[in-house]
Amino acid sequence: MKKVIHVGVLGLGTVGSGVIHILQERREKIFLDTGYEIRVKTVAVRDLEKERDVSIDGIVLTNNLDDITDDPDIDIIVEVMGGIKHAKQSIIKAFYNKKHVVTANKDLLASYSTELLQLAHENACDLYYEASVAGGVPILRGLIDGLASDHIRKIIGIINGTTNYILTKMSQNGWSYDQALKEAQNLGFAEADSSADVDGLDAARKLAILANLGFSMNISLDDIHVRGIRHVDKTDLKVAKKLGLTMKLVGKAEMSNSVISLSVAPTLLPNHHPLSSVNNEYNAVYVHGQAVGEVMFYGPGAGKLPTASAVVSDVISIVKNMNLDTNGYSLLKEPQSYILKQDQEIFSKYFIRILLKDERGILKKITECFMNQSISLKEIIELPLDDELVEIVIVTHRTSRYQFERTLRLLEDVAGTIKSYYCIEVEKENA
Ligand code: NAP
Ligand code: HSE
């Protein structure tokens, strides 16, 4: 008789339906890999009447999460409903009931991974969350297994599919921001609350997960300097293009002797930089290890099947651990303490657009703001718009975040003349 592992799935949206689909389609292969048939017994949803785009014949549908977390037949729980409160409660309950857990929930893992991994360990259970970062790209496995022997010093990349899709479509197809966001939502890339994507929080959560694993730390989200793309417009992208630059939302974590800096920000990259050719919902992450040098992970960062493929691979890992009786040790590491790098020690070039009334001496006033903070300017471009308005685009040489932010405050004081400005960090040419 075939040995069977019963799975309960919390959530049947974009990712959940992909998980059911892959488990159905790959049943034979998974059996050959693990010696078990993986059978989905119960799926939890909010709305029992909603039409589903995957066959759920033979699967029990419930809107009571306890039907899964308390079911003694179920060995593995897949949490793909999102949110923190119910997901956290269900996962904790699962561990107390000796069930292993796979989740794609970065909101939860960014803040509670240490606590949940510890609880999993105490109950000899696994907790895997490969799909929480970069969708279908096996980057957490890469960090934990492939680079286990190395000392990771820097992680940098594009880790949000929705914003990368938006920036690509705005820049290459001339779409508006709203049009591109809507399409990213239709394609299932965006979070239930898409402000997490466009304001950079989703990328910050993923950066925290990567840095926690890469640097063995328990990083607070508050320690990440976060800016999103909500205020980016087509003109920013057009002007950047003229200067040979492409805008991407870049997450960056650096560590040296336990001093770290973490940021997520719209970043202008030279067109020949490898990250500038990562388009649509694709993600790419460079990991710098002391021994290995630079390794790049690349692939689809969001969407139904890529994400579900990472989830199902985690399920398979758990079953393989069950075969070997090695459950309870997944991803658990003793967190090291860290110190945050100060703004005075964080250097970058900057790109600024300033819209001004075209009046005598205005350019001098603007450059004085930079001189006041000893910031030297690499490029100044003046673009007359009409008789009254002029746009000035400035690219600085490398300066500290501290000096730059002081300069922004001085610029704001050039009373009544600044209508709007955008400032976007320019990344070093070699990531
Ligand atoms: P989604 O399409 O909104 O689906 C959420 C599902 O969870 C729905 O089926 C919903 O039920 C169900 N649900 C939500 N709250 C529930 C509750 N309290 N009780 C029972 N069922 C509940 O979301 P998704 O895009 O699949 O994302 C799921 C998770 O994966 C999130 O943590 C997300 O951040 C993560 N993730 C998503 C992607 C992606 O590309 N979409 C990629 C990586 C990670 P109804 O259908 O009845 O409303
Ligand atoms: N909303 C997320 C993104 C889903 O766009 O990257 C994948 O984590």
Name the residue of 46, 79, 90, 191 whose CB sits within 8 Å of the most ligand 1 atoms, as the mutation to test its pocket.
46
Which residue from 337, 156, 339, 335 is spatially nearest to 259, judged by alpha carbons?
Answer: 339
Counting ligand 2 atoms within 8 A of each CB, the residue from 165, 191, 195 with the most, and so the one to mutate, is: 191
- Tell me which amino acid residue 315 is: V
Among the bound ligands, name the one nearest to the CA of residue 162. 2
Residue with token string 């860290």: 338
Residue 270: φ, ψ to 5°? -55, 145
As a whole number of angstroms, the distance between CA 242 and CA 235 comes to 11
**Ligand 2 atom showing the smallest separation from residue 162 Cα:** 5
DSSP letter for each residue of 359-410? -TTHHHHHHHHHHHTTPPEEEEEEEE-SSSEEEEEEEE-SEEHHHHHHHHHH
Domains and CATH numbers, the chain: 3-135+304-324 (3.40.50.720), 140-301 (3.30.360.10), 345-426 (3.30.70.260)
Tens-digit pLDDT string for the chain (431 aa): 569 999 999 999 999 999 999 999 999 999 999 999 999 999 999 999 999 999 999 999 999 999 999 999 999 999 999 999 999 999 999 999 999 999 999 999 999 999 999 999 999 999 999 999 999 999 999 999 999 999 999 999 999 999 999 999 999 999 999 999 999 999 999 999 999 999 999 999 999 999 999 999 999 999 999 999 998 988 888 888 888 889 999 999 999 999 999 999 999 999 989 999 999 999 999 999 999 999 999 999 999 999 999 999 999 999 999 999 999 987 777 889 999 999 999 998 888 888 887 788 888 888 999 999 999 999 898 887 777 788 888 889 999 999 998 998 898 877 445 534 455 665 554 44
Q: Which residues line ligand 1 (CB under 6 A)?
A: 11-16, 44-47, 50, 63, 65, 80-83, 86, 104-106, 131, 135, 188-189, 191-192, 302-303, 307
Q: What is the largest CA-CA distance in the chain?
A: 88
Atom of ligand 2 nearest to the CA of 307: 7
